Amino acid sequence: DRGGFPHFMLKEIFDQPRCLRDCMSGRLFDDKVILSAVRNNRARLLSATRFIIVACGTSWHAGLIGKQLIEHYCKIPVEVDYASEFRYRDPVILPTDVVIAISQSGETADTLAAIKLAKERGAFIFGIVNAVGSSIARETDTGIYIHVGPEIGVASTKAFTGQLTCLTLLALALANAKGTVDHDEFVSLTKELGQIPDKIDKLLKENDCIKQLARTYTYATNFLYLGRGWNYPVALEGALKLKEISYIHAEGYPAAEMKHGPIALVDNMMPVLFVATHHEGYEKVVSNMQEVKARGGRIIAVVTEGDTEVQKIADEVINVPSTLAPLAPLLTVIPLQLLAYHIAVEKGLDVDQPRNLAKSVTVE
Ligand code: F6R
């Protein structure tokens, strides 16, 4: 049931506020985070010397943000691997490692094989999975369900923001148990996380503007997505969404890498989408924007509400409500999902069933 929406993808994008409330329900409180998986495995998790996140596609992008969250709040080193690379590389896995597997479907063959390998070598396996009772959920030692409901559209949307929410809850629960986070910082983050669904509701009101904007870009055959820090994985995710459903070649990069190669591609036929929220690194992203502008590139910028500096440079500006830097991806990804959706619809493509793709990749 598409609930009155023309496609499952659009429904699932609009479902995100409700889904994230479900994901946080019974877990997030103003001054504490309760995750039974953490409470029941406290000693094992707290003694971990390293976390290794394994996932594919969109779930791997969530993993990149998970790394930043866990390193920042818990001070534990984290590696993020494509499950398909990890399993074939003869990786070093220690019995003190905790492997986090992230998967919407819980059936991705490479992710399943990666955790089987890690388990054989004595690591403890923690799952962040949406599909209840799926193969990956059954193979893990413990974990948290994403609880965003079934995702039907092939392009992952609500599962991604659900994964980010779970990773934030996990980082906070661990940090609190380890004593690596200052109490005031903890409370300001839990409070702000609780506000995210309302902020997404507000952001979704930009849908008509983004639809309008999408019309301008259906001609494009290439796109660059750039972001820094917390928003760098969002740039990768925005580019993946565009490739998958609109068949426009898009690349995501950390903004600072632009001058090491991709800038050679920029001309007046190359739209560049910048994720430039008002957080650390903002000024640097703005100067990258100026370099693109000087080369004739067309600029779409996702900025924090009230931004005036980018307004002067960018061709199009999309505003997102302000939030704390570690939570910014939960907001900045939403306009990127909508942009990919509307460009694909404008091109007359089958958004829910893009060519060559399957919802769960059960082959290697
Ligand atoms: C992107 C997408 C894929 C999946 C990937 C992993 O929109 O849907 O990249 O994210 O195949 O799938 P799961 O999370 O089910 O393991």
pLDDT digits (tens, 9 = 90+) for 244-279: 999 999 999 999 999 999 898 999 999 999 999 999
Does residue 359 or residue 134 have the better pLDDT?
A: 134
Question: In which residue are the tokens 């505003």 written?
Answer: 319
Task: Report pLDDT for 162.
Answer: 98
Q: Give strand ranges (E) for the chain.
A: 50-55, 78-82, 97-103, 124-129, 142-145, 222-227, 249-254, 271-276, 298-304, 316-320
DSSP result, 115-180? HHHHHHTT-EEEEEESSTT-HHHHHSSEEEE-------SSS--HHHHHHHHHHHHHHHHHHHHHT-
CA of 15 to the centre of ligand 1 (A): 18
CA of 91 to the centre of ligand 1 (A): 23
Task: Report pLDDT for 354.
Answer: 83
Task: Among 7, 61, 84, 108, name the best residue to mutate to test ligand 1's pocket (greatest count of ligand atoms within 8 A of Cβ).
Answer: 108
pLDDT exceeds 80 at position 176: yes
Q: Which atom of ligand 1 is nearest to the CA of 154?
A: 8
Mean of the per-residue pLDDT values of the chain: 96
CA of 57 to the centre of ligand 1 (A): 5
What residues does ligand 1 touch, defined as CB less than 6 Å away? Answer: 56-59, 103-105, 108, 111, 155-156, 240, 244, 360-361
Report ipTM for this prediction. Answer: 0.98
Confidence of residue 1 (pLDDT cuts 50, 70, 90): confident
359 is catalytic: yes
pLDDT digits (tens, 9 = 90+) for 73-94: 999 999 999 999 998 999 999 9
CA of 84 to the centre of ligand 1 (A): 13
Task: Give the closest residue (by CA) to ligand 1 atom 5.
Answer: 57
| Model pTM score | 0.97
